[in-house]
C-alpha cells in the first residue's frame, strides 16, 4: 500500500526512502550526527506543526494553545530535571540560534568575548569573522597548546587577564578531551566575566554522566538536541533563574517568531529518553567506542590529535598517509563510510581541504555497535586511505561496510 506522501509527492518520498537506505547501509561517523528514535520521529512528524504559539506557556499571542502549552511545559521541566538546571528555554531552532539568543541576552554589541578558535575546535558562532558573532562582538580567540593539543588553562587565564572579556565561551565542535568547566569558572571569576558553555556536542554525554556537567559552573549553557543527546534537530538554553527572563525575551520576541511546537514535543521525548537508565549505558558506550576507534586507527598508523579521546569524537591527522581531509572524506564516502574533513590544530591546509578527519561514535553506538566493530571500522578506514584512488578497494570496503550495517541497522523496520 502506498503512503499519503508517496501518492502526493513520489519524488520526495523516493528521496526519503533513499536517504533511509543510505543511513541503514553505510557507516555514519559524523561526530555531530545520531539516529533519533521512532518516538522522536513520530512526535516531530505530528499535527503540532500546525500550531502558532508565539510567546510562552500561558502567555501566548494566539488562542488555542492550551494543549501545546503542556508539551512545552513538559519539555522545559524535563530539560531542567535532566541537567539539574534552574531554567530552560526549549524554543531555539538550532544551536546557532541558541547561541545568538544567549549573546543577545547577556551582551551589548561591541562587548569583548573570548571563544575557542574555529580552526582549533571552536564553532562559527564563537567569533568567526564570517559569522554574526564576529561581526557583532569583539571576539578574542584562544586555542589549544601547540605541543599537547589540549586546552592550556594557564594560557587562557593569561589571555583573559590581559583582555578582560565581558564573557568567556567554553565549548567546542572538534575537541576530543574533557573540558574543565571548574577551571573556566575560576578564570571567569578572576576577571569578572560571565561564563557561557556551548555544550552542543557533549549534551548527551553530560545527560548520561559520561562528561562532567557544565550546569553548576556556567551562567548559561546552550546545546543542541540532535548530537550525542539523540533527539530532534534543534537547540535549547539552560540558565540560572536570574537570567531566565532575559534569555526568554531574547529568544522571543528578540530573535525568533513562532516556535516549532512539533520539534519542542520531540525534544520533550528525547529528554525523557535521556533520563532512562539505559541512556547512561549508552553514553558510557559512546566514549568506550570512540576510544576503541581511536586506538584502532592509531594501530593502523594514523596520528590521533592529542593522543586519544575522552569523549565521543577524535581528530585524525592524515599527514602520515599523505592524503588531505578532502580526499579522505571523498574516498571514504565512495567506500560507504560517512565522515567529515576537519582542520587539525595548526593545519597547514585551507578549511575546504584540511589535513584531518573528525570521527565520532554516537551514531554507530546507537545502532548497537561495540569495540569489536570499531576496530573493524578502523581497519576499513586504513584500507581505503592507503589506496584512495583504488576503485576495487573502495568497492570491497563498501561491501564490508554494508555487511556490518546489515547486523547493526538503525531503522530495520524501514520508513
Q: Is 52 a catalytic residue?
A: yes
Rounded distance between C-alpha atoms, residue 346 and residue 155, angstroms:
17
Residue 32 C-beta: closest distance to ligand DSN, Å: 3
Annotated active-site residue in 33, 72, 149, 198 = 198
Residue 197 C-beta: closest distance to ligand DSN, Å: 15
Return residues touching ligand DSN (CB under 6 A): 32, 95, 123, 173
Rounded distance between C-alpha atoms, residue 268 and residue 232, angstroms:
10
Nearer to ligand DSN, 95 or 214 (CB): 95
Nearer to ligand DSN, 233 or 383 (CB): 233
Q: Is 54 a catalytic residue?
A: yes
Nearer to ligand DSN, 123 or 272 (CB): 123
Annotated active-site residue in 6, 17, 25, 52 = 52
Residue 123 C-beta: closest distance to ligand DSN, Å: 6
Nearer to ligand DSN, 160 or 229 (CB): 229
Nearer to ligand DSN, 76 or 267 (CB): 267
**DSSP assignments along 276-292, one per residue:** SHHHHHHHHHHHHHHHH
SS3 content of the chain, % helix, strand, coil (to 5): 50, 15, 35
Q: Hey, what's the torsion of the CAs at 63, 66, 67, 69, to 10 degrees?
A: 100
Annotated active-site residue in 76, 157, 177, 227 = 227
Nearer to ligand DSN, 32 or 338 (CB): 32
Residue 42 C-beta: closest distance to ligand DSN, Å: 25
Nearer to ligand DSN, 95 or 127 (CB): 95
Please list the alpha-helical segments (H only) found in 4-116: 4-8, 10-25, 38-44, 66-83, 95-106
Annotated active-site residue in 125, 173, 224, 324 = 224
CA of 356: how far to CAs of 272, 282, 324, in Å? 36, 27, 7
3 state SS of 69: helix
3 state SS of 373: helix
Rounded distance between C-alpha atoms, residue 247 and residue 395, angstroms:
51
The DSSP code for 253 is I
Q: Is 224 a catalytic residue?
A: yes
34: cell is 545520531
Annotated active-site residue in 17, 233, 240, 386 = 233
Residue 225 C-beta: closest distance to ligand DSN, Å: 13
Tell me how crowded residue 296 is: count the other CB atoms within 10 A of its CB: 21
Residue 17 C-beta: closest distance to ligand DSN, Å: 25
Task: Choose among 168, 236, 245: nearest CA to 207.
Answer: 236
Instruction: Output b/e per residue, 122-151; b: 16+ Cβ within 10 A.
Output: bbbbbbbeebebbebbebbbbbbeeeebbb
- Are 89 and 249 in contact by the 8 Å Cβ rule? The answer is no
Rounded distance between C-alpha atoms, residue 216 and residue 202, angstroms:
15
Please list the alpha-helical segments (H only) found in 256-370: 261-275, 277-299, 325-334, 362-366
Residue nearest to ligand DSN (CB): 32
The residue to which cell 547577556 is assigned: 106
Annotated active-site residue in 6, 17, 25, 54 = 54
Element (DSSP H or E) covering residue 138: strand 138-142
Residue 52 C-beta: closest distance to ligand DSN, Å: 28
Nearer to ligand DSN, 55 or 231 (CB): 231
Catalytic residue positions, numbered: 52, 54, 198, 224, 227, 233
Amino acid at each position: 500500500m502506498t503512503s499519503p506522501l508517496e501518492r502526493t509527492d513520489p519524488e520526495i518520498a523516493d528521496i526519503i526512502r533513499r536517504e533511509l537506505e543510505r543511513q541503514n547501509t553505510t557507516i555514519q561517523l559524523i561526530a555531530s550526527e545520531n539516529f533519533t528514535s521512532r518516538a522522536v520521529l513520530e512526535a516531530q512528524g505530528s499535527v503540532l506543526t500546525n500550531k502558532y504559539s508565539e510567546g510562552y506557556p500561558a502567555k501566548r499571542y494566539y488562542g488555542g494553545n492550551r494543549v501545546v502549552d503542556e508539551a512545552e511545559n513538559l519539555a522545559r521541566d524535563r530539560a531542567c530535571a535532566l541537567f539539574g538546571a534552574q531554567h530552560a528555554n526549549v524554543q531555539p531552532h538550532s544551536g546557532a540560534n541558541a547561541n545568538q539568543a544567549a549573546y543577545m541576552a547577556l551582551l551589548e554589541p561591541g562587548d569583548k568575548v573570548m571563544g575557542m578558535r574555529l580552526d582549533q575546535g571552536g564553532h562559527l558562532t564563537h567569533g568567526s569573522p564570517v559569522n554574526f558573532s564576529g561581526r557583532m562582538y569583539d571576539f578574542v580567540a584562544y586555542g589549544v597548546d601547540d605541543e599537547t593539543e589540549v586546552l592550556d588553562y594557564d594560557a587562557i587565564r593569561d589571555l583573559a587577564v590581559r583582555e578582560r572579556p565581558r564573557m568567556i565561551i567554553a565549548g567546542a565542535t572538534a575537541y576530543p578531551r574533557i573540558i574543565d568547566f571548574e577551571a573556566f569558572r575560576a578564570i571567569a571569576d578572576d576577571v569578572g566575566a560571565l561564563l557561557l558553555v556551548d555544550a552542543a556536542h557533549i549534551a548527551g554525554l553530560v545527560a548520561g554522566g559520561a562528561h562532567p556537567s557544565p550546569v553548576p559552573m556556567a551562567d548559561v549553557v546552550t546545546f543542541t538536541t540532535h548530537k550525542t543527546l539523540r533527539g530532534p534537530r534543534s537547540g535549547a538554553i539552560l540558565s540560572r533563574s536570574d537570567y531566565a527572563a532575559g534569555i526568554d525575551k531574547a529568544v522571543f520576541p528578540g530573535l525568533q517568531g513562532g516556535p516549532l511546537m512539533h520539534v519542542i514535543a520531540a525534544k520533550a521525548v528525547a529528554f525523557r529518553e535521556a533520563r532512562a537508565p539505559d541512556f547512561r549505558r549508552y553514553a558510557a558506550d559512546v566514549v568506550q567506542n570512540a576510544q576503541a576507534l581511536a586506538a584502532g586507527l592509531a594501530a593502523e598508523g594514523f596520528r590521533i590529535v592529542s593522543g586519544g579521546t575522552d569523549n565521543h569524537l577524535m581528530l585524525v591527522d592524515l599527514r602520515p598517509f599523505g592524503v588531505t581531509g578532502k580526499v579522505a572524506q571523498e574516498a571514504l564516502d565512495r567506500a560507504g563510510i560517512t565522515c567529515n574533513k576537519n582542520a587539525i590544530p595548526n593545519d597547514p591546509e585551507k578549511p575546504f581541504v584540511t589535513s584531518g578527519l573528525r570521527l565520532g561514535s554516537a551514531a554507530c553506538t546507537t545502532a548497537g555497535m561495540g569495540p569489536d566493530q570499531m576496530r573493524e571500522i578502523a581497519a576499513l578506514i586504513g584500507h581505503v586511505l592507503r589506496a584512495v584512488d583504488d576503485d576495487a578497494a573502495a568497492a570491497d570496503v563498501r561491501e564490508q561496510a554494508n555487511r556490518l550495517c546489515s547486523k547493526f541497522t538503525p531503522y530495520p523496520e524501514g520508513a
